[in-house]
A and B are shown apart, each in its own frame.
Chain A
Amino acid sequence: MANIFPRGSNILPFKIVLCGLIAGGAVSLAVPYYFTPLYTRVGYKPAQPIPFPHDVHVAQLGMDCRYCHSFVEVAAHSNLPTTQVCMNCHQGVQKENPKLAPLHESWRTGKPIEWVQIHKTPDYVYFNHAAHVNRGVSCVSCHGRVDKMDVVYHAESHSMSWCLDCHRAPENALRPLDKITDLGWQAPLAKDQTPKEAQLELGLGLKKKWHINPPDKNCAGCHR
């Protein structure tokens, strides 16, 4: 018999193993990065029919979140403002701004404005805004610094494990109820405290006082 394989074939196993390791490593790094909500959702920043600047309305004009998202404290859903709500001011303010044309169009025709949805929980998730904002969880915990956003984008991953992180340790998010819509608020620092420590101390106190007990083992808390 003669050698049928070339001499170089002997190096092949190493090459295969090496490539396998590299490819495997790449896949196992890429999948958690590219195929998880942290990548697929965070940063989603679609163009809206009306380029509504939250920073102008909140930070400059000092409007409260609840002026527009008026049912957030009573309903599961945080509603979008009706055209009527916008028109309360924009009947007079910035009337001629061409960017507001769709608004006036909507007001005239009664045809609603189709905002592009950014935050979407799956159908089998029953998230309740009222249960959170009435019990010390601020908007900022899930939606980020909307008050600084010119165009709203997805700030957090909203994956199930992200939810669970907070459900298991709500003290990292709890704050006094009058600070819920104050997105820039931070727990007051005592001496020698880092902001994190201050939040933890405050959060633990509130958790105990308010009997905060989010469902962490109970699937039915969110899945019905």
Chain B
Amino acid sequence: MAESAVTLTTPKELERVPLVTNDRKHTWITDKVSSIVEERTPLWWWVAFLPCSLIALIGLFCIGYQISNGVGVWGENKTVGWAWDITNFVFWIGIGHAGTLISAILFLTRQKWRTSINRAAEAMTLFAVVCAGIFPGIHVGRVWMAWFLAPIPNANGIWPNFRSPLLWDVFAVSTYFTVSVLFWYTGLVPDLATLRDRAKSRVAKYLYGIFALGWRGSNRQWRHYEMAYLLLAGLSTPLVLSVHSVVSFDFATSIVPGWHTTIFPPYFVAGAIFGGFAMVLTILLPARLLYPQLDDLVTRQHVDKMSKIILLTGTIVGYAYLTELFMAYYSGNPFEKFTFFSARMGIDNPGWYAWAYYVMMFCNVISPQLFWIKSMRTNYIAVMTVCMFVNVGMWFERFVIIVTSLAQDFLPSSWRHYSPSWVEIWTFVGTFGIFLSLFLLFMRFLPMICMFEVKLVTPEADPHHEPKKEGQH
């Protein structure tokens, strides 16, 4: 776990803004966070959940429809073999980066402010990865043969192609999902024990009890627990960077102009953090509005810090966009130049999807610049607006990369427009339904904020009389 708090020895002028405002006590934290789960289901929850689950069902119907009919119900064609499916996949997997990033990287970098948002962000990660996982699953022509992807010894004596970026994807995404679940669940155990101990109904007691695994907060357990958490954070950090790198390999290792770009891994990772944080804020800000009791835990400081990260990563992404253009120009390769300057920017030629490029540019590069202004970073409306732009922009980034590059590649004879079908659109909308439904269920049944970690960053958590201890963790 992080270094001991240093409040005592820190000079007054350097003292940090408290992470939990209003000097809340542990019981207060427990009560407030648990109350979300324990209180009667609020009306707004049903109002939110029912449409979301309905949309999710529509999405599931579309998936079933697509599987039973064939990929042809989408709008893809001989030239544009991937479109919304992989765009959505990369979009969701990108969003799925924020949670683990907050839990792992910010943990390793001792960013204590992460404690109040990491749980929700991790949950969001999982749900986003669930949504992401749907698309590569269903985009294949023969879903029922997808087990060929698994390296199982078989009577055919044939193995998957370990050189294929798509197989790397299978490994990366499934590993990422698995490790994220483990990480998330490990973090949940002490809080589940809290709920277990507070639960009134027998069913809840049993259910929380089962999943709390009999946690009793003993120091002999905490000792290993903290080490495990540290190790998982240490493992997740390269993992989270690798996942989007591997996803970017799908494109970077190909030869399609606009895909074949060496800067993709860092560019994709930055984009993923960017989009992920925007989505975290998109979810957290309304949640905070609905649960005013969380005000002291999720503070303006959090929003401010996350906005700063959005600004940083947005600028990295913008830089990557410019680098791409420069590389295309400097390569002198007419196919590359065409893809970037004509197909994407629409300069001097039919850029079929140039509008998407400019939507992307505005949303991802221009709109976050607002966060240079401090007042904007703490203005929830402004933050929410920018985050919505970023969500849209990041989807378009993937759309631009995938569809624009494919639609107009080497042989002009094969250039082909693409437009989505209703099935594609509703499948994508449906994943939002799945995502939000899962998140609402999570809010309803699991502690949205990691109570034990928040308690840990309160001043009381520090054994005052022990000034400084060796940082063995």
Contact = CB atoms under 8 A, between A and B. Distances in A.
Complex contact flag A–B (Cβ < 8 Å) = yes
Interface residues of A, number: 15
B197 A161 contact: no
A95 B205 CA distance: 83
B206 A160 contact: no
Interface stretch (A30-38, A77-85, A184-192): A30-38
B23 to A, nearest CB: 28
User: For chain B, which range describes its interface: under 10, 10 to 19, 20 to 34, or 35 or more residues?
Assistant: 10 to 19
Interface string B241-260: 00000000000000000000
Interface in A1-53: 1, 4-5, 10, 32, 36-38
Contacts, number: 31
Main secondary structure of the interface of B (DSSP, over half): loop
Contact of B157 (A1, A4, A38, A160): A160
Contacts of A161: 154-158
A159 B155 contact: yes
Nearest to B152: A31
B155 A157 contact: yes
B11 interface: no
A118 interface: no
Given A4-B205, A4-B206, A32 B153 contact: yes
A164 interface: yes
Interface string A145-188: 00000000000010111101100000000000000000000000
A37 B206 contact: no
B209 interface: yes
Interface in A113-171: 157, 159-162, 164-165
B379 to A, nearest CB: 45
B155 A36 contact: yes
Interface string B191-225: 00000010000100110010000100000000000
Contacts of B153: 32
Interface of A: 1, 4-5, 10, 32, 36-38, 157, 159-162, 164-165
22 contacts: A4-B202, A4-B205, A4-B206, A4-B209, A5-B206, A5-B209, A10-B214, A32-B153, A36-B154, A36-B155, A38-B155, A159-B155, A159-B156, A160-B156, A160-B158, A161-B154, A161-B155, A161-B156, A161-B157, A161-B158, A164-B157, A165-B157
